[in-house]
Amino acid sequence: MTLPSMEPSRIDGARHVSEDLSKEQCWELLRSHTTGRVGFVHHGRVMILPVNHVIHENNIYFRTAAEGLIGEPFARMQISFQVDDFRADRSEGWSVLASGPSSHVVEPELLTQLWGKAMHEPWAGGGRDLFVRIQAVELTGRHVYLA
């Protein structure tokens, strides 16, 4: 996504502008990155873990191990997924947050499509052959920059 071109950061107290991103801009930014963070509650504790992901038909997918921390519990859990980026030298950044139910991918045709997509290998060691789908029921984004 092409965000508005900003002037180099100023130190004269210029105010920041915060603008909401459209759903289309949010999806474009989600597609532009290969790593994001998945957040969920596990035994009463908020967990936030990095995952490599792919976007397919406006759903977010990542691979994990079935027996791992985010394997079995993700079968019908409400979770959030976040991707962001910033330029400290320009006091500029953006963030996209998707929230909704997760599920294991079990449909053979969809699994074939997902395995055929170019996707970075998960960083965590071991076999990661369980695809988790996040249905983005809520999708919001924000871009902050100097005016």
**pLDDT tens string 8-43:** 444 444 678 899 999 999 999 999 999 999 999 888
CB burial of residue 81 (10 Å; 0-12, 13-18, 19+):
buried
Q: Domain map of the chain by residue range?
A: 16-146
Place of tokens 């985010």: 70
Alpha-carbon torsion angle 48, 137, 93, 70, nearest 10: 20
* Beta-strand runs (E) in 1-147: 16-20, 35-42, 45-56, 59-64, 78-87, 92-104, 130-135, 138-146
Domain at 16-146: CATH architecture:
Roll (2.30)
Tell me the C-alpha distance between 92 and 4, whole Å: 10
**pLDDT tens string 73-117:** 556 789 999 999 999 988 899 999 999 999 998 899 998 888 877
pLDDT score of 138: 97
